[in-house]
């Protein structure tokens, strides 16, 4: 067996491809956000660097790298440097479990090169994929908490305490909102969850439909986006936990935020909108298997893109909640509602 036929080599290739996609995706999401924001606000937005401003992320990146590194006085330097790393690494790790493609049967020629019969663009497939996603995404709290604590700035500290409490509170309803899906699928495996939705998305089942709204609100809160972006409330806390960060350290926070948004969009498309599955009437209409795969993956990305756009759309159309209102919604509305939905889902599955 040649070196290129080993599994580890192909895992490294997949990691490289996914890292490239996620980092460019995060960078270009910043551009998209700025262009779309400009569209909502009747401005032009960044359109000078390259066609349609397409080189803007590159220019931003160069600027971030060349900026002078500054550190606040009396800051805990080790933790101060560690925080953006934690944020970025956790949001990168999330992409390891996402199945971007179905299992593709490879033709003879390709089998000789890869040394395996099938291919799937998924770095690893933990058999509790959903749990892995939520476990890793809750680790992101540490990045924010440590950033606020080590900055030696009261505003940062206040913002990080807020963000931590908010993320922990909304993780409850987020976790409960996917239980109906797990009940209906009987599996925690992301691949199985997608496959189950082949002919009917979970969005179109009763418990799935109810849980979807809880899930939607919770991912907005979980990613600290408007209307729940209290951790970055400009008029109260300057820019929140990354007030003291500049240059590339800030870029780390920023890109991890946008990568998280893309991950959550993909997750929403996987859990509720059926991922890359095609309903039978479409897949029977397309004769070529490769075209079927292409259509499925294209649809998957389109569904995720809708959520990517939704994040921006909502951000520029609503004001933010006050902190006590946010906690009220989290504990008095979202949590009881998601418990009720779990109950409904139980009855639904039992009756089916």
Nearest alpha-carbon partner for 332 in 138, 173, 171, 141: 173
Span from 79-87, 214-222, 230-238, 275-283 in contact with other proteins (CB under 8 A): 230-238
The least CB distance from residue 92 to other proteins, in Å, is 29
Q: Which stretch binds other proteins (CB under 8 A): 200-208, 261-269, 314-322, 337-345?
A: 314-322
Find the angle CA(54)-CA(55)-CA(57) to the nearest 5 degrees.
100
Nearest distance from C-beta of residue 244 to other proteins, angstroms: 15
> From the CB of 144, what's the least distance to other proteins, in Å?
17
CA distances from 334 to 113, 174, 262, 267 (A): 51, 9, 23, 20
Pick the binder of other proteins from 57, 84, 148, 227 (CB under 8 A).
Answer: 227
* DSSP states of 270-316: HHTS-TT---HHHHTT---HHHHHHHHHHHHHHHHHHHHHHHHHHHT
**Is residue 156 within 8 Å of residue 234, measured between CB atoms?**
no
245 DSSP assignment: -
Instruction: Work out how close the CB of 76 gets to other proteins at its nearest, in angstroms, rounded to a whole number.
Output: 19
> Could you say which of 30, 320, 330, 338 contacts other proteins (CB under 8 A)?
320
Q: Does 312 bind other proteins (CB under 8 A)?
A: no
If one asks whether residue 316 binds other proteins (CB under 8 A), the answer comes out as: yes
**Phi, psi (degrees; rounded to nearest 5) at 185:** -85, -35
Question: Which parts of 85-124 interact with other proteins (CB under 8 A)?
Answer: none
Least distance (Å) between residue 176 CB and other proteins: 24
Element (H, E) at 118: strand 118-119
Nearer to other proteins, 228 or 258 (CB): 228
Candidate segments 90-98, 171-179, 233-241, 339-347, binder of other proteins by CB under 8 A:
233-241
Interface with other proteins includes 70 (CB under 8 A)?
no
Nearer residue to other proteins within complex by CB, 53 or 180: 53
Per the listing, tokens 């790393």 go with 85
What is the per-residue DSSP string for 51-109? Answer: GGGTTHHHHHHHHHHHSPP---TT--HHHHHHHHHHHHHHHHHGGGG---SPPEEPPHH
Site string for other proteins, 152-191 (x = CB under 8 A): --xx--x---------------------------------
Please, which residues bridge with residue 206 across strands? Answer: none
Q: Does 332 bind other proteins (CB under 8 A)?
A: no
Longest dimension (CA), the chain: 66
Alpha helices (runs of H) in 153-288, residue ranges in sequence order:
154-177, 179-185, 190-196, 206-222, 234-237, 247-271, 280-283
Q: Which of 319, 350, 351, 352 binds other proteins (CB under 8 A)?
A: 319
**64 forms part of the interface with other proteins (CB under 8 A):** no
d(CA 72, CA 210): 46
When asked if residue 74 is in the footprint of other proteins (CB under 8 A), the reply is no
Site map (CB under 8 A) of other proteins, residues 26-45, x = contact: -----------x--xxxx--
Least separation, in Å, of the C-beta of 322 and other proteins? 5
- Residues constituting the chain: 352
Rule CB under 8 A: say whether 250 interacts with other proteins: no
287 near other proteins, rule: CB under 8 A: no
Contact footprint for other proteins (CB under 8 A): 37, 40-43, 154-155, 158, 226-227, 229-230, 233-236, 238, 316-325
């Amino acid at each position: 067996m040649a070196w290129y036929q080993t599994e580890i080599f192909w895992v490294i290739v997949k990691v490289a491809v996914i890292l490239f996609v996620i980092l460019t995706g995060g960078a270009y999401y910043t551009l998209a956000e700025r262009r779309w924001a400009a569209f909502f606000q009747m401005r032009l937005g960044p359109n000078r660097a390259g066609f349609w401003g397409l080189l803007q992320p590159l220019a931003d990146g160069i600027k971030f790298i060349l900026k002078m590194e500054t550190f606040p006085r009396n800051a805990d330097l080790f933790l101060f440097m560690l925080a953006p790393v934690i944020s970025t690494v956790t949001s990168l790790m999330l992409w390891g479990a996402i199945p971007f493609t179905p299992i593709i049967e490879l033709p003879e020629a390709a089998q000789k090169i890869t040394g395996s019969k099938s291919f799937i663009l998924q770095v690893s497939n933990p058999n509790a994929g959903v749990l892995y996603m939520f476990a890793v995404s809750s680790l992101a709290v540490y990045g924010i908490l440590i950033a606020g604590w080590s900055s030696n700035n009261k505003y940062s500290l206040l913002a990080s305490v807020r963000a931590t409490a908010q993320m922990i509170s909304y993780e409850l309803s987020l976790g409960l909102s996917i239980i109906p899906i797990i009940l209906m699928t009987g599996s925690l495996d992301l691949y199985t969850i997608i496959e189950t939705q082949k002919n009917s998305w979970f969005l179109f089942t009763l418990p799935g439909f109810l849980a979807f709204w809880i899930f939607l609100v919770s991912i907005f809160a979980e990613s600290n986006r408007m209307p729940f972006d209290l951790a970055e409330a400009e008029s109260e806390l300057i820019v929140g936990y990354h007030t003291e960060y500049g240059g590339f350290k800030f870029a780390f926070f920023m890109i991890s935020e946008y990568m998280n948004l893309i991950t959550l969009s993909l997750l929403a498309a996987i859990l509720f909108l059926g991922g890359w599955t095609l309903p039978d009437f479409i897949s029977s209409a397309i004769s070529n298997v490769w075209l079927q795969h292409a259509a499925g993956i294209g649809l998957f990305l389109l569904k995720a893109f809708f959520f990517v756009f939704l994040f921006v759309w909502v951000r520029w159309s609503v004001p933010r909640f006050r902190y006590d209102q946010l906690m009220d919604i989290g504990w008095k509305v979202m949590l009881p509602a998601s418990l009720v939905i779990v109950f409904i889902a139980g009855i639904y599955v039992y009756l089916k």
